[in-house]
Structures are given as C-alpha cells and as structure tokens.
Structure 1
Amino acid sequence: MKKVAVLLAGGSGKRMGSTLPKQFLTIGDKPIIQHSIEAFDNHEGIDEICVVIHADYHEEINDLISENNYSKVRYILSGGKERSDSSLAAIKAYEREQNVYLIFHDAVRPFVSSRIISDVIAELKSGKSVAVAIPTTDTIFFLNQNETIESVPDRNLLRRAQTPQAFSYKIIKSAYDVATSDPDFVATDDCGVVLKYLPQEPIHIVEGDESNIKITFEQDLLQGAQIVEKK
C-alpha cells in the first residue's frame, strides 16, 4: 500500500511569541517545516507527502516546496481550529484511494530520523497501528481532584509520546467516523482517537529518539540548533 506522510502544520505557534507560525522559524539555515519535509521526501519508503497548514500560509509553503523541488508533496491542505481538524482534512483527501497508510507527523518535530520512519513503515506493513514513544526517566505522579498524589505509576510502563503516529486508512477513518458522531469529542492526537473509539485496535510502540523534539517554546530553538550542529 502507498505510504503517505501527513505533516501537521496547522498551528499558529503563539506560545513562541513570534508573528510567524513556529514551523516557519529557522533552525540552522532552514525553516523548521523544511527539515520535516526533507526527512520524509528523502526517505525511500515514503511515496508521497500531504502538508496540512493554516489557510493564511499557503503561499509561503507553496514557495518553499517549489524552490526546493520536493517531488513527493502531493497535497497542501488547510487545517482547522483543532489538531483533529487537520487530521480529518488529510483523511478526506484520501477517501477516494483508501488503499494507503497515513503517517501523521508534527511538522514542528524537524529531526525525526530515517530509522524511526523505517521502523514505523515496517510495523505498518505487518498490519499494526503505530505510535512512537520513548521511556520516561522521571517519576510521574497521578493526582486526584484535590491535586494531591493519588498514585505513582510504574515508570517501566510509561512512555513519552512523539510522532509519527501511523495507521491504515481503514482504521483511522473508522475511528474518526465514530468520534465525529460524539458530541463531546475532543482530541489532542490520533492515537487518542483510535484508543477511545476503536478500543479493540492495539497500537504498537516504535522506539523514538531524544533528538525527535517538538519545537514549542523559544528555548527549544536553541536545542534544535545544537542538534543541527551535531549532525
């Protein structure tokens, strides 16, 4: 089946304190989103790329793609108010094909490795839904409504989520079909949608990487620059 990387870049990045969305801020000599596009465009296992971006920035992303001749980019779609709206835009774009894997990736995780992408594709080919995560080194407190400690989960069973998150079209479409009929539907990621609305579908973990960081705050730009220097 066709492997499609869906780059989710619909956010405004206001926490960064910039007039530009954070995906257009520069790390090294490239915008953050360019690092992400190249990670998938250069990977031999990826057949095409779908970019979901804020409607106000289509011109900027079109210029970037044209200037760099990224041949795998097929769709540039507009995201919505919520992250789930961006995922739904990609799902709708592929409804006529369906014989695809959708590999959802936060565009502001610019350093996803070729190894992670390869591992995700291998798991998809074996019929699995996939999440990327790394072990937590910190003790985690589970609080009650009074904001006091209720329990301390076993750290060996905890993971810090990253992206990509990847599914066959049939699985992710089915999950969102159920979710969007729920008047209380709220989602922060695609695994959460599958977990809640298709609980019988197991989601398998691929080991992530500490360098697969998400650029959220200004200090993350410095860490990103250090990663680029090491490369």
Structure 2
Amino acid sequence: MDATPAPRRRVAVLLAGGTGTRTGLDRPKQLVEVAGRTLLEHALRALHDHPDVDEVLVVMAPDHLDAARAVAAGYAKVTAVLAGGETRTASTLAALAHLGDTDCLLLLHDAARPLLPARVVSDCLAALAGHGAVATVIPSTDTVFEVGPDGTISGVPAREGLRRAQTPQGFHADVLRRAYAAAATDPGFVATDDCSVVHRYLPDVPVAVVDGDEALLKVTSRLDLVVVEELLRRRGGG
C-alpha cells in the first residue's frame, strides 16, 4: 500500500480589501481598469492561470463584493469572494477563518500588484517545500536613512543587506495560524504584512526569500497606474 501523503492543496489568496484612498480615486484602485481589465482581474488572472495553484480566494472591501464577484465569475478556481477588514491583518484573518483547519500551502498576494510573473509564483511554492514561510523581495537600489525623533538622520543601514518586500508571501497554513494566534496575545500588535508576523511571533521559523521582479510594483498613486498601463501595453495587455 502506498503510504505517500497526498500533496498539500495550494491556495492563493488575493487581498483586495483596500479602498485606495492614496490614489484619490472615487473607487478602490483594484477596480480601476487598465489595459482592458481591472487591476483586480490582472492579478487574479495571474494566480488563476498558474498550473500549480489549485484554488483562489478573493478578499474584497465589503462595500464592493458584488463587483469582485462579477470579476471572479469567469475564473473556475475561485471558490469564494470574502469580505475583508479595515486592515491587511483583518483581511488575512478573514481568509484563515474561511479555510478553518485546512492543511494547505498559502500564497497571499496584493491585488494592487497586477504584474505578477508566473516565475515568482513557482519560486514561492518551491521554497515552501523546505520552509514554513517565504517572502518575495527585490534589492534596495536606494540608500535608506533612519531618521530620529528630532528629524535628523540617526543611521544609514548598509544597502547590501536591505531588500524591498513584494508579494506573494507564502506560508504553511498552520504556521500563519500559529503566528497570528501568538500576535493576538500582544496588546501592542500591529503589522502591515504577514511575513513580519511570523518573524516576530514565531522566531523559530525562518522566513526564506525569493527574488521578485521590478515590474511587480504596487499601485499606490495615479503615476503608478500610468506605469502599469505602459508595462501591460508592452506585453500585449497581460
């Protein structure tokens, strides 16, 4: 009898809960159309069409669930469109709650990063074969200053050791659950991404890194929309 365990299900979570206030638009930035599709659909398509992704969850701002469902309707791997929270953490927790105790590999990706190469998805999943958590990063090409409370430079970290975070971030689902359970006991808990939660609250779990892509930028301004549209145009609309 073959005792080889079944491979873990690979679930991609598309985080689209933000309202895009920094872009100054009248709707969430993930619903802005660029090169014929919304940012949400560009990111969803990249995850959905990857052969190693088994299932996709979309976590959307509560007031725009119908719009997200309309986009997701054409993608068979989407099993649920969930209401997100006011923070990134709340949206991640919504996805974890939906999954319950499911033993799976998770990829969490920002819908505001529409230009997701298949290679990055593959590399994240491959890294999860040997690690409980993985971050997508690119080198920091700019010098970074630490600034003190008095408004002056207090330090200049060595650029060689600095990386800029992108998404997807990947996890064994049980690792992320344990990290958030530990964080819930900390009254001062605050986080802007999920790898930092694992790094802080599960120090025994190393977070691996994989190379991201310069084109995998996060849309936070109207200028970013112009850049993304040009990049999509150059590659034929995505």
TM-score w.r.t. the length of structure 2 is: 0.93
**1:205 and 2:212 matched:** no
**3-state SS of paired residue (2:199):** helix
Deviation at 1:21, TM superposition (A): 0.5
Aligned 1:123-162 pairs, distance under 5 A: 123-162=127-166
Displacement of 1:93 in angstroms is 1.0
Q: State the superposition RMSD in angstroms.
A: 1.0
Report Cα offsets for 1:88-110 as digits up to 9, x if no partner: 0011111132x101111101100
Q: Distance in 1 between matches of 2:152 and 2:131?
A: 41
Post-superposition Cα deviations, 1:62-105, rounded to whole Å, max 9, x if no partner, equal 11122xx20110111111111100000011111132x1011111
Asked whether 1:107 is paired with 2:114, we answer no
Counting aligned pairs with the same residue, the percent is 40
Aligned length: 228
Is residue 132–residue 175 contact of structure 2 (8 Å, CA) maintained in 1? Answer: no
Give the Å deviation of 1:146. 1.7
Partner of 1:35: 42
Rounded to whole Å, the distance in 1 between the matches of 2:147 and 2:131 is 36
Q: TM-score, normalised by structure 1?
A: 0.96
Structure 1 residues 6-155: aligned runs within 5 Å: 6-66=13-73, 69-97=74-102, 99-155=103-159
1:119-155 deviations in whole A, cap 9, x for unaligned?
Answer: 0010012234100010011111122222222221111
Structure 2: 5+ residue stretches without partners: 1-7
List structure 1 segments (4+ residues) > 3 angstroms apart after TM superposition: none
- Residue identity matched to 2:100: E
**Structure 1 residue 218 and structure 2 residue 222: aligned?**
yes
Say if 2:131 and 2:208, in contact at 8 Å, map to a contact too.
Answer: no
Amino acid paired to 2:67: E
The corresponding residue for 1:4 is 11
CA deviations on 1:176-225 (whole Å, 9 max, x unpaired) are: 00111211111111011111111121111100000001011000010001
